[in-house]
Structure formats: C-alpha cells, structure tokens
A and B are shown apart, each in its own frame.
Chain A
C-alpha cells in the first residue's frame, strides 16, 4: 500500500521514448505553460478572485480525497478498480437525505427530549445521520464485495474489472427507477444551516439575500467541516495502517496474499475490511458533498467517482498519500478551469489529466512500479 522501491521495471503502456510519449510531453508542456500564463494573469489582475477559486478547489479536492482513498486502498489490496465506489458515494447522500427528510434524524435529541439544547441537538443529530449513512454504505460495499468480487478472486483481473462496471451500472439504473431514487434532481434538505462569511477588511457574516461586496472572499462552515473531516480521516488512516494489527495485516496482504495466509491472516476478512473502510470514507464524502452542493440525484456519483479515480491514478494508485495529493490537484484543476475557462470544460480537463498521466507516468506521483506476479 505504501510505496517502497522495487527493482522491477514499471509496466509501461507506452514506452517512455516512443513518439506518442513525446507528443504527450510536448502537449503537456504547452498546456502547462498556457495554464501558468492564464493563472498568473488572473492572480495579478484579481487576487481575491484567484483566492476564491483556490478555496473552491480545496472544497472539491478534499471531497475527492475522501472518495479517492477507497479506490486506492481497494486497488492496493485486490488490484481492482472498484467502479461502483462512486455509486456508494451517491447512496450515502440519499440515505442521509431520507434520514433527514423523512425521519428528522438530524434533530433526534431535541425530538426525544424537548428541553434539549438546540445547537447541541443539531451537532449530535448530524453526526448520527453521517454515521448512519456510513454504516449503510459499509454494509452495501461488503455485500458488493461478497456477491460480485469474491467469486472472481482467482479469475483474470479484467473479469473483475468488467464486473465492477456492471455493479456500478446496476446501482445507477436500479436507483433511477421511480420507486427508488428516481431520475429527478432532488433539493437536499441539509441537517444544519450553511453559514457563509466573507473576508474583506475583516470577517463578516453573509446575511441571507445579501450579496457580499465586490472583492470579497467567501468561506462557509461546510468548507471548514470538509477540511477538518478529511484531515481527521487522513490521520485516522495513517494510524490504522501504521499502528494497528489489522492495518499492518492490510499492508502484508496487499504485498503477498499466500504468505499473509501462512501468518494466519484471514485474507478474505482483511479484504472485506478494506472495502468497508473505503466505503465509510466515501459515505462521509457523500453527505458532506450533498450539504455543500444541495441538489442530489441518482447519477451524482458518476463524475465525482470518476474524478476521484483520476485523482488516485494521478497520485499513484495504491498509495494513500498519493490519493490525497492527487485529489487536491484535481480539485484545483477543476476550480481553476471553471473559474477561468468555462464550467463545462472542467470535465474535459479532468479526463485529459488522466490521459496525460497514463501516457507520461502511468505509475503516478507516488506510485511504485507494479510487481508482476507469476
């Protein structure tokens, strides 16, 4: 899971000196120079707007990081791109939506005990809602793994990959049914109010219905929550992987399954656990994303999922710090494209990054050359 240098050669999709790779490099150079030029002009022209874009990018990037961790951990342990991961993210948003809308779970302490402190009630209720979404997504991911991937453990990797795409389609088109989530955009009822501040000559609260003055940078409580939650997740994950028995067993299993079994490690349980951890992070991301961008629909997981996958590849698939760094870069790329080129371009840029990474450095930023096993 974590990188260690190995002597084997990387599996090059295009040999580094080939014509295509050179075209890729020149293309990247041109794009890079162009991007730097645009960014520099705008940085000097309107620094506050630039800062605002950076902040928007951070918000997106941190959510992508939560999803990308699941991709990279699952890949690290079973060498499978779990394409259903983005749909787990979507299911989480819907679970929290139903919990809040139908059952007012976000206010349960106050509803059970009428005299309860309202703000404390919101905090406890929101955390409960998030935990519920996480638990349901963990169960979903474990079920997917048991039903769809485990029987294919010894099959060629391409079979499992195609199955993953199939599971993803199943979740999406099952969700699209009218009696499930339907195809509509649904306004998401947030468990708590999003509070926005603007920064210009000090920090001021943005009153509802009032636009912040020109030249102000706005931030919101959900941005701060997303940043904190993601950093906590990173710290938790580092602790898990470095210090706990199951975490070390995950790394051992990811490196060499037969030898892990000789140690008495129950490889199937470790794999289930990895899917569970990844799904719980995606679920957390799903709820936070829905709060930040409060319109949900069944296909909402497709693009964030794919971009988080690109982030994981960019960072070096299998590497946990790589997923984080890759996601931050993806967030910035997307926010800058939306801000300075055009919003529809952001997806094109995201997938161009994927193509460039695969052409120039398929192992990503932190990636280790893949060990081909006999």
Chain B
C-alpha cells in the first residue's frame, strides 16, 4: 500500500506537469504578453502600457457589447426552440422519438462555418431559396438576427438533449410520486418536474452562452458582410491582419477568458448546488402522455425543426458541391461531379488534408482519453495533495476559447529558448486540440469513477497488482464505455476544428477545415463544398461504425 502511494504521487506529479505544459503554459504566456507588449520581440520593456489604451478603446466596448448581445440572443433562441421540443420528447409519446435523438445529433457534425456558408448560399440575394421559390432573405441573413438564427440552429441540440434527459430522470421518479398523491399530469409537470429540472436547463443554456461567445466561423462568415464584429473576430483580426496588434489581441483574449470563466463557474455552481437531485441516474421507466389529436401536429413540428436545422444546410452544401459553376445556378445542365473528381485527383492536396485531419483527430482522441482517465482517477480517488489543482487545470480549457488557446500556444512555443522545436510542426495542432478538448474525457471519466465501487481496486491490490497494472487491467476496462463516448466526441470536434487550425498549422500542412476555408478564400467554393461533403459524411459514418462496434463489444463483455 505504501509503495503504491509513492507511485501514485509520482503519477500525480507527472500528470500535473503535463497539464501545466498543455493548459497552463499558453495561458501564462497570454497574461505575460498582455502585460509586456514587446514580449514577442523578446523584450520585457514597458509593462502594462497597452492595457489602458486597449481597454479605453471605444471599439472594445463595442466588441464586448456585440459579444454579449449575441450570446444572450442565441441563449434565448435556443431556449425557445429546444425547451418545448425537449419537454415534448421527454414527457409525451412523440412519433419516431428515437429517430429525432439521432437526427438532432447531426448539427454537431456540421462544422459551424460550413453551416454558415450553406445558409449564405441558400438565403442570400439570388441564392438557392430565390432560385427555387422566387424570394430571398438577404436582409435577414446579414443582420444581427440572421447571425443569431444560424448559431441557434448549430447549438440548440445541447439544450434539447439536456432538457429531455433531465425531465426523463426527474419526470419519472418524482412526478410519479406527485401522481400518487393525486396531482394531475399537468399539475405534476408544472409543480414538480419543471422546477426540479431548472438547474439542468439553466446549465445547458449557460453552456450555449459559452459556445456562442467562443464561436468564430459563423460571425466571421456572416458578420463581415453585415458589419457585426465580436470579440473573437476582433482577436483574429488583430492577430492575422497586417499590421499586427499582438498585445491588443492578448488583452482581448484575457477579456474573453474572464467572460467564459464567469459563465462556466456560474453554470458549475448551478449544477452542483442541488446535489440531491440525481440527474445523472438512469432514466427510469416514465409514463409518457398520449398526445391524441396533437400527435401529428407535434410530429410536424419535429419534422420542421429537423428540416431547417439538418436538411437545409446539408442540401445547400450538396447543391454547391454538385454544381459545375456557381453562376450556373440550380439546373440539371449545371449538375457535375467535377469538384469531386478534382478532390480525388488530389487537387490542392485534398487527400493529404483529409488524412492529416483524421490522423490528428485520432491522436487527440487517444491523448485526451489517456489523460482524461488518469486525471479522472486522481481527482476522484487519489488521496494525494494537489488533486484540486488538477481538477481546476483540466477543466480550465472550458473557459478558454479555441482562438485564445491558439494565441497562447504561438506565444509560448514560438521562442528560441526551447530545446526542441515545437512551433511550426504538427505537434502544435495536436497540443491545441488536446488542450481544447481535454475537459470532455475528464468529465466523463470522473463521473464514471464516482459510480464505481472502490472494492474493485482493493481486490486488484490484494491480488498483488501494482498501480499501473491495476489501472490498465481493472479500471480502464470498467471505464471504457464512458471513455469511448468522450473520445468519439473529441474525434468529431478535432477533425473539423477551424480557428486554432488556421492559426497554428505549420507551413505546408493543411487540415480539412483550413482546406475548406482556403478554397473559399481562393475563389473555389465548389471544391471547398465537395470537401465538406466528404468530411461530414466520413466522420458521421466513422462515428456510426465505431459506436455500433463499441456497443456490441461492450454489451458482450458486461
């Protein structure tokens, strides 16, 4: 036992070291850069000289205001759209219930910037909508509400799944108590289920807020045309348009981190405040309301939402990819496979981009999976010093937008004093993805460890297994169902990540997202969309296969 404690302390230190390197370092460099404006030139002169000018800049208040306004609008829109849908899904017998759960996962797999481009192609003046139906929504699309609309369609599933899961858990157990005591179905919904699910609902809406203020693709695509700029686009502009303003970008990054952190900790507080509500428990059999005459109108509502959020963007992407020329519009004579031919002909390195992204996403999934399992264990079980710090560091990236991580990584690694060259290698991308996505496996793993009995470990140790053997042979297999889900999520997000990839990809390396973005900037939207089609369908297919395989294997073992 004592030996094992030493090993554990060693593992703990090693993990903490890796976390500091991965998460702490970029953040420290951003803070330093914000304080010392000439740091990127290797000078410590004039500390704090940029702080006040940047903070006093009227543009900052403008960017901050726009960011908050957009965040709130998307939260509101997601709530209006997803809460009724989620509640219906949980409490009523909706036709095709299981199918909707799969369909509403698809918006996660359409990268937001591609969805934004697809909406642009569809709604703008003389876009697909006008070509088909004779009218357009140009003025709406390129406005504040247009940006909010597109973003709501990207993120509303977060709220939908949270609401339906929470209500199923609370609605089942607690509502049936209410029913036993004589309350009607509506009364037990409004007096019991709804109040009890408010923390979960609020938490998911705060998550939507954080996701919105961090999102780059949609505001960058639609915002430029409507003149709506937010903090993220402000940071990107300061960091990628000549003349550069690296100190200014760092100050804005810090501001964004503080904003996201505040929202995230408010959410954390909400979720943990009422620990006696078990929303993580298994959804028990719940008596769902018969919809009766409302059955088909409800079905149509689900159809409509699915059509707008899933079918429209995918059809627009397909239409663009299959059009020979963009000016040719929607007509049979304009139908062509030439963009796909160009893609498989490896024009502009399309195939390398695809394999780079798949490789990096696999690497990130493995790295975050291993780290997540270790951290989850150390945080939940280890009686060693510093596990709180570990917990904090591993969840910190939740409050660090991709663009901030990218800026931090560049500042940190683009220095001559490192013994090995990390900057300008693909390791930068791996670092960025791993840092960005680490919280998912950590959260899944720690939740899983909390449900696991400690007897398993005790038994392993009694049988003479050391820590590492016990971890690999006993804990990891028991953990794997949750961990695999988290790793799949990491894979899906990493394989299409845009903003960090744009900023830290080394010379000569293209990922799927930078390829698509680049084709649009080069004036070849058809090729870009053909790549999007391949990327969306291949990740969906891969995830489907992996999930099915995983489920079969796991259900066989347990």
A interacts with B: no
Which residues of B does A touch, CB under 8 Å? none
Which residues of A does B touch, CB under 8 Å? none
